[in-house]
């Protein structure tokens, strides 16, 4: 085995801050830092010291040395807190590179943690989601995965599949010992797996934020409502129907939740080629949205308002109407009437999507996990069919073995360098 090199990176975000932290990991990390810091290091003790480059003092620091193997990466590590000036930090990183360290790649600390058996791949993915999550529920479910709830579920499932496969193989090897037909009921397993897979959509919403699409016929005031919701003129508003041709996306916070508001072209039949592309995009946005808001126009007779399936129904331009409308939110983008209610309604729905995640333990938090679970499920369902169709039991066994392989890719019991590159390239440097 090749001896790993020692990596260094700034672990805090760039920009002005009180503190900026640099981390090192690898066999030479202590020696490299001790070329710049004149102390007697003790593992896990914070020391106040000077960081020097040659004869010059760069900064006052607090440094902590960590002895392997009980560290984040499983290697010797050092964490140094500097003052949060990026000039100081980059100069310190350069000095440590000159002293033998190498600049870390994206996610390389966590990758080393995985390679050294500190965590499996699903836990590593959770680390990234904790950093990126836009809601408290998102952080909470990513934490559960990092603590191993998902791994535990997969491990239990794997064990069951292994036992099944073993019992099939005994029958293949000693067919004479068994007179009865082989019978197995895989449905409890597929049920559990389906339940787990169904957590992906709400989990994604909790982690990435809520997508809200503003839909409706041209000129009802979709763009005006977007502007009213965010309190500034982001989308273009005109009396001309068909003004919004492309979808306009705005990230904002509503009630502490990250919300992606999507303003769309009005949905109508149109001969205009460009507008038609806009309409197609609007329909796509509607499909992908967590919450669809259907906006109608109070000044247009109801039968002329396009009918759409929606989670929230809004009648706009209520300032121009002589009456109120029942069973829908009455709003005016112009006067601001009802806009606060619309905000509340969005928060209420978004919260009900993510809240279901509070009570479950194992949650699917990454697309890769979703994909591999689906494949595993597919194999188990095929095994079920093969069994019911009375195929030879070795066919059933092949499906079960494949399902186990997918589960092993999920946790990283099996992996390739390419897969690791893809997973960790999404991470920040320094994590």
Ligand X SMILES: Nc1nc2c(ncn2[C@@H]2O[C@H](COP(=O)(O)OP(=O)(O)O)[C@@H](O)[C@H]2O)c(=O)[nH]1
Kindly list the residues in this chain that would bind Mg ion in the complex (CB under 5 A).
222-223, 244
Query: Whose Cβ is closer to Mg ion: residue 155's or residue 268's?
Result: 268
DSSP 8-state secondary structure symbol assigned to residue 3: P
Q: Is 238 an interacting residue with respect to ligand X (CB under 6 A)? A: yes
Residue 239: name its binding partner from ligand X, Mg ion, none (Cβ under 5 to 8 Å by kind): ligand X
Q: Is 219 an interacting residue with respect to ligand X (CB under 6 A)? A: yes
Contact 329, 345 (CB under 8 A): yes
Tokens of residue 117, six digits:
């058996």
Query: Whose Cβ is closer to Mg ion: residue 25's or residue 244's?
Result: 244
Q: Is 316 an interacting residue with respect to ligand X (CB under 6 A)? A: yes
**Shortest distance in whole angstroms from residue 223 CB to Mg ion:** 3
Q: Is 100 left (phi over 0), alpha (psi -120 to 50) or beta?
A: left
Tokens of residue 230, six digits:
């965010």
Residue window 333-372: x/- pattern of binding to ligand X, with contact defined by CB under 6 A: xx--------------------------------------
Query: Whose Cβ is closer to Mg ion: residue 101's or residue 248's?
Result: 248
**Shortest distance in whole angstroms from residue 268 CB to Mg ion:** 12
Q: Is 245 an interacting residue with respect to ligand X (CB under 6 A)? A: no
Q: Can you tell me which of 12, 151, 205, 223 binds ligand X, judged by CB under 6 A?
A: 223
**Shortest distance in whole angstroms from residue 279 CB to ligand X:** 12
Stretch near ligand X under the rule CB under 6 A, chosen from 187-195, 213-221, 284-292, 353-361? 213-221
Residue 338: name its binding partner from ligand X, Mg ion, none (Cβ under 5 to 8 Å by kind): none
Would you tell me the crossing angle of helices 121-132 and 367-388 to the nearest 10 degrees?
140
Q: What whole-number distance in Å separates Cα of residue 76 and Cα of residue 402?
A: 38
Residue 110: name its binding partner from Mg ion, ligand X, none (Cβ under 5 to 8 Å by kind): none
Residue 332: name its binding partner from ligand X, Mg ion, none (Cβ under 5 to 8 Å by kind): ligand X
Query: What b/e sequence results for 205-220 when a residue is b if at least 16 CB atoms lie within 10 Å of its CB, and e otherwise?
Result: bbbbbbbbbbbbbbbb
Query: Whose Cβ is closer to ligand X: residue 7's or residue 220's?
Result: 220
Q: What angle do CA 423, 358, 196 make, to 5 degrees?
A: 55
Determine the longest span between alpha carbons in the chain, in angstroms.
Answer: 86
Q: What angle do CA 34, 40, 46 make, to 5 degrees?
A: 90
Query: Whose Cβ is closer to ligand X: residue 41's or residue 221's?
Result: 221
Helix (H, G, I), strand (E, B) or coil at 378: helix
Q: Is 332 an interacting residue with respect to ligand X (CB under 6 A)? A: yes
Q: Can you tell me which of 243, 354, 399, 409 binds ligand X, judged by CB under 6 A?
A: 243
Q: What whole-number distance in Å separates Cα of residue 412 and Cα of residue 151?
A: 10
Q: What whole-number distance in Å separates Cα of residue 37 and Cα of residue 81?
A: 13
Query: Whose Cβ is closer to ligand X: residue 291's or residue 393's?
Result: 291
**Shortest distance in whole angstroms from residue 269 CB to Mg ion:** 17
Query: Whose Cβ is closer to ligand X: residue 55's or residue 323's?
Result: 323
**Shortest distance in whole angstroms from residue 263 CB to ligand X:** 7
Residue 220: name its binding partner from ligand X, Mg ion, none (Cβ under 5 to 8 Å by kind): ligand X
Q: Which residue has the tokens 């896990």?
A: 44
Tokens of residue 98, six digits:
């000159």
Contact 17, 11 (CB under 8 A): no
Distances (CA, A) of 276 to 177, 212, 230, 247: 69, 21, 27, 12
Q: Is 293 an interacting residue with respect to ligand X (CB under 6 A)? A: no
Q: Is 188 an interacting residue with respect to ligand X (CB under 6 A)? A: no
Q: Is 305 an interacting residue with respect to ligand X (CB under 6 A)? A: no
Q: Which residue has the tokens 């004869």?
A: 55
Q: Is 313 an interacting residue with respect to ligand X (CB under 6 A)? A: no
Contact 223, 244 (CB under 8 A): yes
Among 136, 84, 126, CA closest to 366: 126
Tokens of residue 33, six digits:
């830092």
Q: At 6, phi and psi to the nearest 5?
A: -105, 130
**Shortest distance in whole angstroms from residue 110 CB to ligand X:** 44
Tokens of residue 193, six digits:
């797996």
Residues of this chain that bind ligand X (CB under 6 A): 218-224, 237-239, 243-244, 266, 316-317, 319-320, 332-334
């Amino acid at each position: 085995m090749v001896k790993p090199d020692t990596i260094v990176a700034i672990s805090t975000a760039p920009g002005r801050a009180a503190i900026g932290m640099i981390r090192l990991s690898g066999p030479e990390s202590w020696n490299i830092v001790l070329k710049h810091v004149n102390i007697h290091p003790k593992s896990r003790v914070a020391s106040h010291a000077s960081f020097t480059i040659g004869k010059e003092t760069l900064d006052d620091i607090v440094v902590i040395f960590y002895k392997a193997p009980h560290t984040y990466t499983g290697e010797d590590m050092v964490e140094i807190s500097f003052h949060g000036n990026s000039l100081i930090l980059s100069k310190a990183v350069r000095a440590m590179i000159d002293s033998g360290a190498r600049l870390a790649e994206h996610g390389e600390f966590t990758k080393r943690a995985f390679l050294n058996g500190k965590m499996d791949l699903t836990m590593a993915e959770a680390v990234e989601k904790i950093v990126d999550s836009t809601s408290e529920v998102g952080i909470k479910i990513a934490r559960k995965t990092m603590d191993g709830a998902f791994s535990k579920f997969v491990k239990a499932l794997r064990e069951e599949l292994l036992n099944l496969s073993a019992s099939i193989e005994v029958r293949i090897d000693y067919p004479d010992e068994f007179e009865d037909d082989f019978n197995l009921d895989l449905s409890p397993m597929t049920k559990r797996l389906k339940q787990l897979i169904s957590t992906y959509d709400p989990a994604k919403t909790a982690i990435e934020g809520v997508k809200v699409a503003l839909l409706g016929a041209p000129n009802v005031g979709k763009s005006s409502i977007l502007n009213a919701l965010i309190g500034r003129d982001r989308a273009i508003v005109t009396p001309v129907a068909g003004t919004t041709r492309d979808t306009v996306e705005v990230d904002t916070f509503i009630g502490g939740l990250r919300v992606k508001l999507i303003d769309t072209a009005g949905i109508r039949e149109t001969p205009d080629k460009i507008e038609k592309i806009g309409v197609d995009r609007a329909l796509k946005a509607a499909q992908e949205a967590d919450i669809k808001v259907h906006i109608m126009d109070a000044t247009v007779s109801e039968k002329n308002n396009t009918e759409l399936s929606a989670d929230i129904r809004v009648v706009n331009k209520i300032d121009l109407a002589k009456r109120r409308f029942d069973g829908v939110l009455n709003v005016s983008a112009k006067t601001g009437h009802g806009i606060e209610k619309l905000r509340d309604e969005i928060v209420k729905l978004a919260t009900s999507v993510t809240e279901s995640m509070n009570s479950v333990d194992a949650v699917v938090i990454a697309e890769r996990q979703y994909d591999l679970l689906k494949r595993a499920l597919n194999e188990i369902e095929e095994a079920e069919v093969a069994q019911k169709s009375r195929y030879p039991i070795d066919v059933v066994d092949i499906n079960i073995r494949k399902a186990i392989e997918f589960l092993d890719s999920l946790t990283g019991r099996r992996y390739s360098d390419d897969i690791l590159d893809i997973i960790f390239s999404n991470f920040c440097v320094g994590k």
